Structure 1
Amino acid sequence: MRRVFVVDWSNRKLFQQQMEQHFRLRHEIYVVERQWQSIARPIDIEMDAFDTEHAIYLLALDSSGDVIGGSRLIPSTRPHLLGDVFPHLAKGNPPRAPAIYEWTRFFIAFPHRATGKSARLAGEVLCGLLEASLQLGVRQISVVCEAFWPARLRTLGWTVEVLGEQLALDDSEIVAALIEVTEAALEGTRRFYSIEGPVLHPSVVLEPVRATEAAGHTH
């Protein structure tokens, strides 16, 4: 089922209802369910400093058009979590390049999760992440994640490099990693989740990243 949409600044007005659902789901999952109190706000939505005009959102929609899963990509040449909050996880040298994007805020709505295994919808969002990255010409994805994620992704056929030491938080250990974006990783993920063919909606057409897009950008 090709139900993963890409939403960015150019088409965001077409997905206003879904984007609001997306931010409310993030609140339910990260603030209420996972108790990330550092990102709690007085309102029932979860947005951070990186939800800017440069963010690219992957939204999995059900047959009614409601959001049931999602994720986010941020250009590494712009402010992002690893580069601006956790650079020490990459030994003070977080990777930055036009063809490197950061991956954050991966989630699956509770009714679509599977007990004791990774849900098929998770596979669809992961495939959408890789399909969109390949269309964009993104060669690597950086991520700040819980320490178990690199091994889990390697079981899908992903090439993942951990960039530094683990950091202990109140309820977990986190690491920074760099992921190679390849057709082999996409095919491995499709096989693991028994997904046949693309998951991005046919309306999704992305322009490749140009090396000049971030020229001159500094922090």
Structure 2
Amino acid sequence: MADEKNPKDAKKPKLDKAHVADTALDLLNDVGLEGLTLRAIAKELNVQAPALYWHFKNKQALLDEMATVMFRRMVGAGEAGVAHEPQGSWQEWLMLGSRQLRATLLRYRDGARVFSGSQFTGTDHGPGMEANLRFLTEAGFGADQAAWASSTVWMFTLGFVTEEQGVQPLPGERRPGYDVAERAEMLADYPLAAAAGEHLFTGFDERFEEGLRLIVAGIEARYGVR
């Protein structure tokens, strides 16, 4: 009959932005950002590449949607350990948010590069941003100071993880060329620079926490909010 549907078509998932972004994030860990092309995603979805252009005019539009999905996963109800309402001191709250962001980015190869510079495609971030800024202003920050303080911590986290993933694309994986002993031997004529490798390319958890405390202490000293 003319209105009968092909059983194979019925099994195909609906091709929408969310499904494409989910597939792209799954593929990201295998191929990295450089290998994540619309053609590769289309192959994974078993569709022709032009079909994706109905949803994304270019790769940056796709990255925007991927960043949005990453953010939704970070703050979603199913994400264990994520606090939704500001609590405690403003110092601890800013640090908690940065830890959660870093943990999310580290789940994806090149996760920080996907996130950095992307624009969220919806307003999912609005409630949390409003609550955070209100929390900071109620703690004594001016509106401009609250925006600058929170964005500075946010950008520190993105920059840190970008560099971290340049050395370790995924936890437990290390790029060639970042052997600390080899680096020290190469820089043997510069003892301080050689010794610095131990502090720059290992112990990322400890380094992140120290950097975070430096940033927050600087905000406190600059704005005088205790």
Choose 1 or 2 for highest CA Rg.
2
Higher relative contact order (CA 8 A, sep 6+): 1
Name the TM tier (shorter chain).
under 0.3
**TM value normalised by structure 1:** 0.28
TM, length-normalised to structure 2 = 0.27
